Structure 1
């Protein structure tokens, strides 16, 4: 393969922990590295994140910064570790800081990527910050990407999503890895959790306010009255975990809830569930909902989940949070017998809706390096 030099990209993130955006980036990096395409990551966490070690093993760098709004710090990073073909920022309105540093450092390709539909804008300072940053991002980005139309509108504004330098970029997963049920892993987990043949509903997500774990516990209070053996599986970790565990104890739900923590065997977790529950207050897309559908698990989601995450294979049901926890509990029990076992139907849903990892990788390569990207693109295809 003849290119002048390997493509080298700097991603700006909060921390590379196991979450939707970060998992998608790792899915892409694992294939791109086979062709010598390198990702470095600016991280604002001083602690080792879930994917840090794997990134370094694949030849990428984790560059830890402390001053979140320092243009100078990012500029110096680019000059020291570059040159970079592109800077790709994923940090909401902070993208403006990263893109300004990239412009000053001479980076020609500057990408802002929208991943969420809301933010804490309750304070005056935050409102002023977002008011300044939105036009700055639009002026400095050479390409705007969004995982859903609503996420794009939130970060860039309604006018931007109509322009040629805006692209809907679906969050992609290696869905083939989820299609087959890993029987041995599922059985091991059920023994570990002590849930056996119980009706299992589940949720995967960080313990943060947006994921609405408290509402899930309220749902469980009604669900156990109808199905005493029902089990709630909570996968993930986060700042609010201790608070949710305390509420579970105070509500007398300890025997009906299993806190699994951060897990590598996500497919086994999902295949263990009879229903996936996603009551978020806001979401950019909801990558884990794609994983749940890949496993054939019916899902009950809030109105905050973006329509792009529904593969239209009959597995996603919507309910308003205002309907209340009892209505959610009733719906969950009704959905518990509706798993989809037709993997061909699920696979067609992914492809029809644009969730193709090869296509996503090739699209990014063309954005990262328009001049030589085509040479890489032809080689990426053979990896799938």
Structure 2
């Protein structure tokens, strides 16, 4: 019997580094089945020596790094080398939905799938808000006719990124990419070993945060919460894992604080699951989030999470999640810092049976790929 040739999927991203979107894409590459050859187009910036490079090589992913000023020209260069059956565009916010137009023009025979990963974050200026509105209503509206299917990581993102008409007709819908559950079963030995490495005593409260040190994660406010709490709780420490464009100013503020000796800073880790197990409370006061994977991973380890109410309620997969308004007094956060869990192991089973299990999610995505590619235009 003649072997069926693989369908070719081109993933479009603006930036490729070490973030949550990259984690989702590499998961798709690994787990969407053997019927697809996945490649990658990076429109603006590729971070060398990123943590996913070896995995991309293992799965023979061809990486196209755009060197043209025009993204469309970059896509046309790719089209001159290789045709694709499906262009899977990963956007950071709704304004980027216009990339569907460029993809369809560069690959007219390909299906175009949009996947929006977060809500739009404005700097609050009137001029920018007007521009975003015009972009959304103008180019954003036109892009609908160049898109075969639109997905969002959560209900909050769906309503922010896509038009109500497309949501009503299910042309746009929520898709949970899920997380790889393997290794997230709470392990008391891993907890003790990691805390020992960090210099955290058994009777100390360890608050923690993992995320980019960038505006969307609200790092200044994170320290506004943490520093006063550490001052009033001498048996508490804070583990801050992440790097980003605000790192220099944040690290300077930490060093100048009275509690710098109890704020543990690590730029990057590969075994984040062990650090989540070592924590007692996970803190995420983001300004803008689609569906923070790290909060799902934290719940899988049985770790209580205190999140800002700007984060999608879809994140609340278990009773471990509490939401606090960014306008609330700091004490509103501190109340939840006392709610630690002794029995953490049973949350793994709960999360494994949920829609956030990537084994379930990837079967759904493979079926969606098949449906799109088999549909007549």
- Common topology (TM > 0.5): yes
Alignment pair present for 1:324 and 2:329: yes
The 5 Å alignment of 1:1-384 reads: 4-32=4-32, 35=34, 37-43=36-42, 44-48=44-48, 49-67=50-68, 70-80=71-81, 82-91=82-91, 92=93, 93-120=95-122, 122=125, 123=128, 125-181=131-187, 183-184=189-190, 186-197=191-202, 198-311=204-317, 313-332=318-337, 334-335=338-339, 337-343=340-346, 345-352=347-354, 354-370=355-371
**Conservation of the 8 A alpha-carbon contact between 1:99 and 1:110:** no
Between the aligned partners of 2:345 and 2:297, the Cα distance in structure 1 is: 15
What runs of 5+ residues in structure 2 fail to find an aligned partner? none
Deviation at 1:69, TM superposition (A): 5.1
Between the aligned partners of 1:7 and 1:112, the Cα distance in structure 2 is: 18
Q: Deviations over 1:54-89 (max 9, x none)?
A: 212320022111457522221221331x22121011
Which has the larger share of helix?
A: 1
**Conservation of the 8 A alpha-carbon contact between 1:116 and 1:282:** yes
Instruction: Decide whether aligned partners of structure 1 residues 182 and 246 sit closer, same or farther in structure 2, where only a CA change above 3 A counts.
Output: same
Between the aligned partners of 2:2 and 2:143, the Cα distance in structure 1 is: 34
Between the aligned partners of 2:283 and 2:88, the Cα distance in structure 1 is: 32
What runs of 5+ residues in structure 1 fail to find an aligned partner? 374-384
Between the aligned partners of 1:68 and 1:236, the Cα distance in structure 2 is: 30
Instruction: Decide whether aligned partners of structure 1 residues 17 and 140 sit closer, same or farther in structure 2, where only a CA change above 3 A counts.
Output: same
Instruction: Decide whether aligned partners of structure 1 residues 78 and 322 sit closer, same or farther in structure 2, where only a CA change above 3 A counts.
Output: same
Deviation at 1:215, TM superposition (A): 1.4
Q: Deviations over 1:26-60 (max 9, x none)?
A: 22222246x25222111121431331332123200
Instruction: Decide whether aligned partners of structure 1 residues 250 and 364 sit closer, same or farther in structure 2, where only a CA change above 3 A counts.
Output: same
Deviation at 1:280, TM superposition (A): 0.5
| Pairwise CA RMSD | 2.4
**Conservation of the 8 A alpha-carbon contact between 2:186 and 2:302:** no
**Conservation of the 8 A alpha-carbon contact between 1:300 and 1:316:** yes
Q: Deviations over 1:323-374 (max 9, x none)?
A: 1223312321x21x2254242x54234424x22323322222223233888x
Task: Give the number of equivalent residue pairs.
Answer: 365
Deviation at 1:101, TM superposition (A): 2.8
What's the secondary structure of 1:21's corresponding residue? helix
Deviation at 1:248, TM superposition (A): 1.2
Between the aligned partners of 1:372 and 1:280, the Cα distance in structure 2 is: 37
Instruction: Decide whether aligned partners of structure 1 residues 94 and 45 sit closer, same or farther in structure 2, where only a CA change above 3 A counts.
Output: same
Instruction: Decide whether aligned partners of structure 1 residues 66 and 136 sit closer, same or farther in structure 2, where only a CA change above 3 A counts.
Output: farther
Deviation at 1:260, TM superposition (A): 1.2
TM-score by length of 1: 0.87
Instruction: Decide whether aligned partners of structure 1 residues 372 and 220 sit closer, same or farther in structure 2, where only a CA change above 3 A counts.
Output: closer
Between the aligned partners of 2:233 and 2:11, the Cα distance in structure 1 is: 46
**Conservation of the 8 A alpha-carbon contact between 1:205 and 1:235:** yes
